[in-house]
Amino acid sequence: MRARLTMERAIVGFHRDEHGHWVAQLACGHDQHVRHDPPWQNRPWTQTAAGRAGALARLLPCRQCDDGAPPDARP
């Protein structure tokens, strides 16, 4: 297995998917789920507008960039 770094991309916005889960929109054009599903995934900051605003410009690793995936469509 080849070691590699995952690209890190800044969060530029958010939307919700059809199930009500929050999705971060990254600067590269890819979307990434940021689920709050305790006790497995704890992201309480996604649950408030202030928390989401505070997460803007935060970096998330983007595997879709690593894979060369085309940008996601946004609602």
Residues that bind Zn ion (CB under 5 A): 28, 30, 62, 64-65
| Residues with Cβ within 8 Å of residue 45, at least 6 apart in sequence | 51, 52, 54, 55
Task: Closer to Zn ion by CB, 10 or 65: give it.
Answer: 65
Minimum CB separation of residue 71 from Zn ion in Å reads 8
For residues 25 and 12, the answer to whether their CB atoms sit within 8 Å is yes
Q: Give me 43's structure tokens.
A: 């992201």
Q: Which is nearer to Zn ion, 23 or 62 (CB)?
A: 62
3-state secondary structure of 64: helix
**In the complex with Zn ion, which residue's Cβ is closer, 50 or 73?**
73
Q: How far is the CB of 12 from Zn ion (least distance, A)?
A: 11
